[in-house]
Amino acid sequence: MTNHRAVAVKLGWVLVMVLATMLALSDSAQAASRQVNIGCGQDIDNIINGDPAGTTTRFVLGADCTHMASATLKPESGDEIICSIAPTYVRMASAFDPATRCTISGVSGLTQVMKPQGTFYMWGVTVTGGTFTGNAGTGVGIAEGQMSGSSWIEGSVIRDNQGAGISNAHGVHDSIELTNTTTNPNALGFIGSGIKGVDEFNIEHSYVHDNQGNGIWCDEHCNDVSGAPYSVFHVNGNLVVNNGREGIRFEKVGDTGGASEASAGEALIEYNEVHGNGWESTRAGIGARDSQHALIRNNVFGATTIAGVSYGKNSGGAIRASDSGRSDRPDLLDIAITLNILNGEVIKGCELPAWVVYCF
C-alpha cells in the first residue's frame, strides 16, 4: 500500500527545492553576451535565424507593432527575446494577466511560430498564429520540444493559435496568459490546449482562459525531467477559467510495464483558482485520468467573482480521478486530493480504495 503521507512530504520537499532553484534561475536569466535590436518592419525571422551560432544574443523588439514571421523563429541556446517596453499586469487572485507592447505573429500557413533551441528566455511578448494541418506539432504558437527545462518565459501572451498555444512544454512559465487556442476544432482531443507537455514542466501565477480544449495538460507519461528547476509537473497559483474541456489535465502518466514508462513523472497541482471549465464537453476543473502519483491540494472551485469578472461552476465537478480500464494505459493509483475548497462542487474518485485515490 502506498504511504500517502510520505508522498505528500516528498512533494513538499520537492517544492522547497523548486522555489530555491527558480529564484536562482530568475536572477540569472538575462545573461546574453550581446544585444540586437529588431525594429518595426524589419525581417525578424532572417535576423533571429541568421544570428551566428554559438553566440548568446538578446533580441530586443520594437514596441507597438506586429513583427510578422514568415519562417519559424529558432533562437539558439542562451538567446533571449524581450520587448523594449515592459509589460503591465493586472492582479487576478494569485495570477497575473499581462499586457504586452510587442507582438510576433506567424503568417498564414506557418505551422509553428517559434521553436526555441536549448535554454531560452522570453519576456513581455505576445505570440499569435500557428496553422494546424492535422499533423502533430502543428498549429502552435511556441513549440518547446527542443527547449531545455531550465528555460523561462514570463510576462508574455500566447493566443489565437489553431492547435495549442504551447506544445511539448519545458521549463518555467511565469505570469503568462494563454487564451483562444485550438481555434481549429480538429485539434481537440489531439493537441488542443493552452499549454501541453509530455515532460514535466512548470506553470505558475498565469491566466489560462477561454481555450477551446484543455487549459493545462500533461500527457503521455509526463516524463521526469533532469536538470530542470523542478522535479514534478507543477501547476501553482494559476487562474484557470472558462476552458472548453478540463482546466488542468494529468493523463496517461505511470508505469504499465514498459522500460520507458518507468521514468513517468509526478504532479503537484496546488493553489489554483479553477472555475467555469468544461463548456465544450462535460469535464471537471481538474482531471487525473489513467494516472499515478499526483497531489492535488488547496485549489478553489465553484462559482465566484474575481477582479470583477464572474465565473460559473465547472460542468463536470471540481476534480475527477478516473480509470478507463484500458490495458495499454496506466492504472489509476496514488492520487492524493486534500484540502481543496469545493464551494458546492464534487470530487469524483474518492469512493475508490484509499491506495488508489486518497481524499482528505
pLDDT per residue as tens digits for the range 148-158: 999 999 999 99
Instruction: Please report which confidence band the pLDDT of residue 258 belongs to, taking 50, 70 and 90 as the band edges.
Output: low
pLDDT per residue as tens digits for the range 117-134: 999 999 999 999 999 999
What whole-number distance in Å separates Cα of residue 187 and Cα of residue 217? 14
214: which 3 cell numbers?
A: 484543455
pLDDT per residue as tens digits for the range 291-317: 999 999 999 999 999 999 999 999 999
> Taking Cα atoms as reference points, which of 286, 269, 293 lies closest to residue 357?
293
Instruction: Report the top-level CATH class of 4-359.
Output: mainly beta
pTM strictly above 0.95: no
**pLDDT of res. 263:** 87
Q: Which residue has the higher pLDDT, 10 or 287?
A: 287
- AA letter at 305: T
| Among 11-25, 105-119, 324-338, the least confident range | 11-25
**pLDDT of res. 339:** 98
Cell 497559483 found at: 237
**pLDDT of res. 196:** 98
The domain locations on the chain are 4-359
Q: Report helix, strand or coil for 226.
A: coil
Answer yes or no: are the C-beta atoms of 195 and 166 closer than 8 Å: yes
What whole-number distance in Å separates Cα of residue 350 and Cα of residue 331? 16
Instruction: Please report which confidence band the pLDDT of residue 262 belongs to, taking 50, 70 and 90 as the band edges.
Output: low
Q: Evaluate if residue 349 carries a pLDDT over 90.
A: yes
Q: Report helix, strand or coil for 32.
A: coil
**pLDDT of res. 229:** 67
Tell me phi and psi for residue 246, to 5 degrees.
Answer: -75, 145
Average pLDDT over residues 211-224: 96
Q: Which residue has the higher pLDDT, 50 or 17?
A: 50
First to last CA, the chain: 17
